[in-house]
């Protein structure tokens, strides 16, 4: 299937068009984005604030008019005073103060690797109660390294870190030469051939072109002494089924002399479901048993508990003419070569950022396509408290998800469309949700969140276009830094609002008191306008530019529907 909006990087062909416009996958994504109503808390609070001001002004004007007429004040003078009250009651300086505050916030966040695409998101980020984040590259470094392997029912340990193709191979507690282990080399070759990543050297630095997971398998092959260029020449690829988030598999077909070989790598559950045999055991290739599957699954689970990502490797030898494989045609035909486990170390800043989240009353939620055991292992490593999950989320109804998500903070094997449901469930529980994403499939979930955060390094243009913020370093700690700055800006906006209302309503209270006591009006209309212009202008700016208060990240976020001002707080500020 060829999808609109994608790019053909090699080859050519003819295709039958089966859908156009809104009937395509891109159209479905666009429809979802359109249906996702943008809910910006600051806009909701400003609307509530505006309604409150209008009601208060109408009441004060009516009361002033009635009292003034009753006291016998000249109608023309009273009319001017009422109009002046209308002007003085409205905080004319608020729009300017709000814009300046948000602009300052944008500058401060940029210095902390957060680029703002929509100003209103600054205040919203300071109000978030849940942060939904990817694992790879955001919580971790995205530098995958194969450290363990289980091949021929034997456990291997591989040393070395990063993309440098150097390391030792340890089997049964002693170092071995991998070239002497046929089963091991067979599995490593599968990982190197069923692969699109390239390893190259720039001076003294080794660099990777391609997916880090595939890169880890390429590095492993070079560590084992395999010349992938020569191997690719001897076993050229003639067909490929690219990795897909739905199938979680990659399939390649290679010509090897007078026969053909199908190579498969992917998630353990999917690969194991296609295998009918297992290789590398003492008796060579044999039919796979339920006990074999149980052993492999147990080892994979142990790897996952140690925060390792598990990749299964399998193959099938096909004689005669080339037959292009499909995933269904491989069911029961593959030979399991083994599994490899790779480590993606957490970013150093993440555990501290997690601790800040919990102190600030924010719930971090990990959403990943990895195996559950791996996700749980990483969650523990980065400091997530009481990691819990909801398994088989596709079988859970929306109502049940809304109820169970209150106790879940790790989601594994998640498809892009399921992220949309997770965000919906959190919003239904009155959470203010920040969501990270990098691919075009993440666009619906990003558009549906209160604060959408795109990755600046690995993010697609589509994800950046719908996002409110862009992380220049793809780092979870930068999100938390943005929350801190957002809270500081939100506090300054509140200070400005309280100041403007206190001065304005102080003028109104003075006039009302004079009317009630039958005294001459203390302020003329022109004086009211002059005072209002001064107090609503320059004087409020120092409040907007104040630095953050200490302990700002030790306060819980405000309730979902909390207004900018409350009657009690306004009375206190007005009295002062």
Catalytic residues: 134
The tokens describing 13, both together, are: 């062909």
Q: How far is CA 186 from the centre of its chain?
A: 38
Q: Alpha carbon of 350 to those of 141, 347, 375, 382, 451: distances in Å?
A: 10, 6, 15, 6, 20
CB 129 within 8 A of CB 423: no
Using an 8 Å Cβ cutoff, are 162 and 204 in contact? Answer: no
**Using CA atoms, how far apart are residues 261 and 321, in angstroms rounded to an integer?**
11
Q: How many CA atoms lie within 13 A of 58 on its CB side?
A: 6
What's 393's DSSP letter? G
How far is residue 394's CA from residue 411's CA, in Å, rounded to a whole number? Answer: 12
Closest alpha carbon to 143 in 285, 347, 305: 347
How far are the Cα atoms of 26, 170, 221, 223, 302 from residue 167, in angstroms, in the given order? 44, 10, 11, 6, 23
Number of alpha carbons in the 13 Å side-chain half-sphere of residue 129: 16
**Contact criterion met (CB below 8 Å) for 399 and 427:** no
Contact 215, 144 (CB under 8 A): yes
CB neighbour list of residue 324: distance below 8 Å, 6 or more residues apart: 239, 253
Which of 141, 136, 169 lies closest to 155, judged by CA? 169
Tell me the β-bridge partners of 256.
Answer: 259
What residue spans of 129-244 are helical by DSSP H? 182-193, 212-223, 228-234
For strand 410-411 and strand 363-367, is the pairing parallel, antiparallel, or unpaired?
parallel
- Which residue is associated with the tokens 């700690």? 477
3-state percent breakdown (helix, strand, coil) of the chain, nearest 5: 50, 20, 30
Question: Rounded to whole angstroms, how far apart are CA atoms 536 and 96?
Answer: 10
Taking the C-alpha atoms of residue 127 and residue 41, their distance in angstroms, rounded to an integer, is: 8
| Adjacent-strand bridge partners of 338 | 313
C-beta separation of 279 from 152 below 8 A: yes
What's the token pair of residue 531? Answer: 């005072």
Whole-number Å distance between alpha carbons of 535 and 238? 76
């Amino acid at each position: 299937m060829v999808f609109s909006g994608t790019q053909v990087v090699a080859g050519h062909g003819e295709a039958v068009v089966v859908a156009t416009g809104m009937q395509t996958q891109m159209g479905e994504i666009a429809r979802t984005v359109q249906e996702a109503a943008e809910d910006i808390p600051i806009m909701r609070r400003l609307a509530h604030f505006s309604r409150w001001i209008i009601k208060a002004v109408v009441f004060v004007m009516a009361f002033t008019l009635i009292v003034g007429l009753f006291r016998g004040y000249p109608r023309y003078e009273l009319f001017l005073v009422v109009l002046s009250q209308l002007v003085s009651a409205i905080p004319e300086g608020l729009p300017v103060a709000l814009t300046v505050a948000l602009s300052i916030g944008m500058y401060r966040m940029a210095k902390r690797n957060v680029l703002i695409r929509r100003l209103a998101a600054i205040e919203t980020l300071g109000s978030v109660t849940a942060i939904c984040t990817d694992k790879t590259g955001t919580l971790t470094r995205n530098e995958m390294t194969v450290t363990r392997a289980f091949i021929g029912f034997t456990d291997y340990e591989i040393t070395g870190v990063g993309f440098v193709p150097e390391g030792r191979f340890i089997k049964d507690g002693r170092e071995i030469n991998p070239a002497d282990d046929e089963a091991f080399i067979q599995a490593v070759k599968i990982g190197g051939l069923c692969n699109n990543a390239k390893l190259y050297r720039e001076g003294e630095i080794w660099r990777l072109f391609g997916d880090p997971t595939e890169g880890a398998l390429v590095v492993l092959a070079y560590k084992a002494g395999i010349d992938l260029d020569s191997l690719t020449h001897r076993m050229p690829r003639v067909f490929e089924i690219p990795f897909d988030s739905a199938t979680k598999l990659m399939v390649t077909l290679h010509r090897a002399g007078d026969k053909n070989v199908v190579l498969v790598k992917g998630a353990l559950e999917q690969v194991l479901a296609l295998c009918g045999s297992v290789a590398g055991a003492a008796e060579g290739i044999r039919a796979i048993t339920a006990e074999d599957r149980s052993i492999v699954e147990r080892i994979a689970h142990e790897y996952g508990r140690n925060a390792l990502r598990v990749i299964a490797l399998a193959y099938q030898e096909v004689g005669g003419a080339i037959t292009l494989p499909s995933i269904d045609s491989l069911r029961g035909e593959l030979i399991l070569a083994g599994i490899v486990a790779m480590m993606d170390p957490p970013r150093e800043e993440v555990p501290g950022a997690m601790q800040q989240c919990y102190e600030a009353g924010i719930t971090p939620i990990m959403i990943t396509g990895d195996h559950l055991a791996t996700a749980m292992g990483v969650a523990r490593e980065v400091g997530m408290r009481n990691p819990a999950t909801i398994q088989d989320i596709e079988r859970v109804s929306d109502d049940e998800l809304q109820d169970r998500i209150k106790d879940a903070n790790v989601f594994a094997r998640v498809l892009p469309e399921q992220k949309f449901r997770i965000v919906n469930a959190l919003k239904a529980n009155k959470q203010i949700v920040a969501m990270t994403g990098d691919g075009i499939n993440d666009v619906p979930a990003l558009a549906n969140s209160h604060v959408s955060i795109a990755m600046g390094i690995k993010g697609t243009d589509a994800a950046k276009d719908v996002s409110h913020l862009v992380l220049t370093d793809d780092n979870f700690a930068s999100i938390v830094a943005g929350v801190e700055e957002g809270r500081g800006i939100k506090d300054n906006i509140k200070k400005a609002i309280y100041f403007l209302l206190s001065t304005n309503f102080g003028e109104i209270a003075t006039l009302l008191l004079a009317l009630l006591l039958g005294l001459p009006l203390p302020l003329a209309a022109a004086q009211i306008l002059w005072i209002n212009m001064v107090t609503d202008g320059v004087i409020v700016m120092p409040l907007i530019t104040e630095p953050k208060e200490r302990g700002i990240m030790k306060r819980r976020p405000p309730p979902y529907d909390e207004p900018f001002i409350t009657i009690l707080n306004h009375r206190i500020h007005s009295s002062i």
